[in-house]
Amino acid sequence: MKINERFLELKDSYLFAKVGQKTSEYKLKHPEKKVIRLSIGDVTRPLAPCVIKAMQKAVSDMSKKETFKGYGPDRFCYGYDALIDSIKGSYLKKGVKLESEEVFISDGAKSDLGNILDLFSEENTVLVPDPVYPVYVDTNVMGGRKIVYADATEKNGFLPMPDKKVKADIIYICSPNNPTGAAYTREQLKAWVEYALKENAVILYDAAYEYFIEDSALARSIFEVEGARECAIEFCSFSKTAGFTGVRCGYTIVPKELIRGGASLSRLWARRQSTKFNGVSYISQMGAAAVFTEEGEREIRENIAYYKKNAGTVARCLDKLNIFYTGGKNSPYLWLKCPRGMDSWEFFDYLLENANVVGTPGSGFGKNGDGFFRLTAFGDADETVEACERIERLLK
C-alpha cells in the first residue's frame, strides 16, 4: 500500500489553519485580551431575511409527504430548476446566455476548483498567478502537475498578463483577486482568452467576488468576453455574495462549446459529479434562489455595502499611515505593504501582539506576497473601527 506522496510536498498546514492556530495559541496565553480577526474572508452579517424565509419554507416542504424532497433532480446533477433558472437570469443581465445543462450547482467554489482537476491529465502544465489563493497551488501539488507562475507585482498592478513564451494548459484567474483585490478589465481578460485559445488551454475563472465590482469597465464574468465559451470554466459562490459560508452553495458554469481531446468538458463534469457528488441540500438551494429575487438582490446589496464601508474604514486608516495598499474598492480585501520593512509573518506577530489584530500574511499566498499583508472587510463594523484605531496608535 502506498500513500499519495505528493501530499508530503505540501506545506505543513493550510494557510488559514496556521493563522487560526497561531491566533488560538495567543488567546490561550492572553485570555484577557480582545483579539479582532480581520484574517480569513469569513462573513459576519446574518443571512438576508428573504433567504431565511425561503429556507423556512423549504424546511416546511420537507415536513410534508406531498412536498418532501429526497435526492435532487438528476437531470441537472441535482440542481433544482428554480435555482438554475435564477442563475441563468442573472447571467442574462450581464449579456450572457446560458443553457441549463451548463449550470452545475455546487457546495461552493473551493470544492469545485479542486475537483475540476479530475478532468485533466497529470501531464498538463498549470499557470497560476503569484500571489494566489492557496487552493489552486495545493490541489495541483496533490495531483502532481507542473506549476508555472505568473508574477503579480506592484509593477503590473498585481494583474499579470499572458506571456507568449510561457506554455500552459490550465490557467487560473481570480478576479477580483484574492488576495490582492485587483480586478481585470474586459480588455485585459480578452488578452487571456486569446492566449488560452491559441494554447488550446482551459481557463479556470474564479468569480467568487464578482458582486463587489462597482467599476463598469471591469468584467463580472469571463463569459462577457467573446471566445470565452470555447476556453473557460467559471466558478461562483454564494459565500461572499450572500453570506453562505456556513450554508454552502455555489455554481460552476461549463459551456457546451468547451471541447478538449474530442470530449465535451460539460459532459465529463456531469459524469464526474453524478459519480462523486450527491448535490446540495434542497434547503440551501431554495435559500440561494431567493438571492436573485428583487427583494433578495436589494438585501444582499445592503450587506455588501456594509462590508464596503468596512473596506473604506481600513483604507482611510492606511491612507493616514501612508501605507501602500491595493484593493478595497472592487473587492473585500485590502493588500498592504508591511510597514518598517517587516516580512509578512513578522508583521503578523507584531500586529497580533501589539494591537491584538489578526490579518493574513501575504507570503502565505506565494513568494511575491512576502512583505505584504491582507486585511478583510468582512468583519463586524464596530470591531473594524476599533482594529483600525489600534493599528493607527501602533504605527503612527
Query: Would you tell me the crossing angle of helices 344-355 and 15-29 to the nearest 10 degrees?
Result: 30
Closer residue to ligand MLT in complex, CB, 88/110: 110
Site for ligand MLT in 153-172 (CB under 6 A): none
Q: Hey, is 369 helix, strand or coil?
A: helix
Exposed/middle/buried for residue 261 (C-beta within 10 Å: 0-12, 13-18, 19+): exposed
Q: Is the dihedral of CA 10, 14, 19, 25 positive or negative?
A: negative
Total number of residues shown for the chain: 396
Site string for ligand MLT, 115-154 (x = CB under 6 A): ------------------x---------------------
In the complex, the smallest distance separating the C-beta of residue 366 from ligand MLT, rounded to whole angstroms, is 13
The residue range among 40-48, 76-84, 303-311, 322-330 that interacts with ligand MLT, by the rule CB under 6 A, is 40-48
Site string for ligand MLT, 176-215 (x = CB under 6 A): --x-------------------------------------
The site for ligand MLT, by CB under 6 A, has a size of 6
Query: What one-character-per-residue DSSP string does 133-183 give?
Result: -HHHHHHHHHHT-EEEEEE--TTTTT-----TT---SEEEEESS-TTT---
Taking Cα atoms as reference points, which of 207, 213, 212, 210 lies closest to residue 233? 207
In the complex, the smallest distance separating the C-beta of residue 230 from ligand MLT, rounded to whole angstroms, is 28
Closer residue to ligand MLT in complex, CB, 110/145: 110
In the complex, the smallest distance separating the C-beta of residue 133 from ligand MLT, rounded to whole angstroms, is 6
Name all contacts of 275-278 with Cβ < 8 Å and 24+ positions apart: 276/115, 276/118, 277/77, 277/78, 277/106, 277/115, 278/71, 278/78
Closer residue to ligand MLT in complex, CB, 158/195: 158
The backbone torsions φ and ψ at residue 323, rounded to the nearest 5 degrees and listed phi first, read -100, 130
Asked whether position 110 contacts ligand MLT by CB under 6 A, the answer is yes
127: number of Cβ within 10 Å? 26
In the complex, the smallest distance separating the C-beta of residue 359 from ligand MLT, rounded to whole angstroms, is 11
In the complex, the smallest distance separating the C-beta of residue 261 from ligand MLT, rounded to whole angstroms, is 30
Given candidates 19, 41, 232, 351, which one binds ligand MLT under the rule CB under 6 A?
Answer: 41
Q: Hey, is 371 helix, strand or coil?
A: coil
The residue range among 39-47, 185-193, 284-292, 386-394 that interacts with ligand MLT, by the rule CB under 6 A, is 39-47
Give me the residues that bind ligand MLT (CB under 6 A), please. 40-42, 110, 133, 178
